Amino acid sequence: MSNSVEKTVCFTGHRPQTLKFLWNEECEMCKNLKMQIKNTITELIEKENAFHFISGMALGVDMICAEIVLDLKKTYPQITLECAIPCETQAAKWTEKYRDRYFNTIIASDKETLLQTHYTADCMMKRNKYMVDKSDIVVAVWNGSKGGTANTVNYAKQSGKTIKQITV
């Protein structure tokens, strides 16, 4: 390993409605993206001594990244997953399928951090800042558009964090 200091990594990225494949995770475009994410995480584990990963647990990229980390624990049992939950009602309006996926991921994770109990207009931003503040590296699955992912990337840049961008 190039650096013996253990590193923490968080994820930021688009929701399904912003991704080109939308909600279809079985299409080749999504499978290719998942492979890129898996390769990036594996490289961070092997070359940067990344051991702790934080997901904001939103639908889309956050959930995909969390599930990939859980899968990689089979190969790298030393890694951990933290679910950073912006508020208790994050998944309340999701379909049963996505709520089940959300709660199963939380149950399988190593740590759950609830940032506040009730929804507020800025709770997602607070969650994103928490993740960046706790991380050394930010993996951004991002097409360059404005929005929450852009705000998180900009905050990470201002905070001097290393950013690994996967362009979608």
Instruction: Tell me if 9 sits within 8 A of 138, measured CB to CB.
Output: yes
- Tens-digit pLDDT profile for residues 26-63: 999 999 999 999 999 999 999 999 999 999 999 999 99
Full set of structural domains in the chain with CATH: 7-167 (3.40.50.450)
Can you tell me the distance from the alpha carbon of 3 to that of 50, in angstroms, rounded to the nearest whole number?
10
How much is the pTM? 0.96
* Distances from the Cα of 83 to the Cα of 18, 47, 56, 63, angstroms: 22, 24, 6, 10
Give which of 59, 74, 66, 77 is closest to 37, Cα–Cα. Answer: 66
In this prediction, residue 19 carries a pLDDT of 87
Task: Residue count of the chain, please give it.
Answer: 168
Helix, strand or coil, per DSSP, at residue 54: strand
pLDDT in tens, 80-132: 999 999 999 999 999 999 999 999 999 999 999 999 999 999 999 999 999 99
Q: For residue 94, what is the DSSP state?
A: S
